Amino acid sequence: MAESSRPTTERPLSPHLQVWRWHVTLAVSIAHRFAGIGLYLGLLLIAGWALAVADGPAAFDTYAGLLASPVGLAVLFLITLAAFFHMANGIRHLVWDLGFGFKPKTADFTALVVIAFAVLATIAFWFRMAAFGAFAHV
């Protein structure tokens, strides 16, 4: 009888993706996941680098050549962007875990700070790489 004594009307569901207004906090939250998955791939590339270093000069040259190709450099660029973004937003998450920064205006502002940091740090990193002569062979 417990079953029939309860109302069988449709209960409200939690909001679906379609009814959310597109917002910077939403975009950063989604990008955090995509960046994290991308960094998983980045770590696999570092493991591959460690293998190439251990294997010998021939394997290293092949691997370094792949990474220095246009596609390889594009992947590496995106991985550095993902790393700076995920790191900055991860710190934002840690601050939330301490109980700060939940006001909508604060959350909006810190989301924009994370985006700005990720873009500027990525550009600075690649300028530094160029200054070190990393692209001298290209």
Partner 1 sequence: MSDLRTPLRRVRGLGSAKHGVMHFVHQRVSGAALVLLICWGFSQTPFLVLHGYDGAHVWLQSPVNAALASLLLAVGLYHGQLGVQVVIEDYIGKTGTRTVLLVLNAFVAFAFAAVGVVALLKTAFGGGAL
Contacting residues toward partner 1, per CB under 8 A: 1-4, 6, 33, 36-37, 39-40, 43-44, 46-47, 50-51, 53-57, 60-61, 64, 80, 83, 87, 90-91, 93-94, 97, 125, 128-129, 132-134
Is residue 85 a contact partner of residue 29, using CB atoms and an 8 Å limit? Answer: no
Nearer to partner 1, 52 or 111 (CB): 52
Nearer to partner 1, 11 or 105 (CB): 11
Return contacts of 117-120, CB within 8 angstroms, 24+ apart. 117/84, 117/85, 117/88, 118/81, 118/84, 118/85, 118/88, 119/81
Kindly state the smallest distance separating residue 48's Cβ from partner 1, in Å: 8
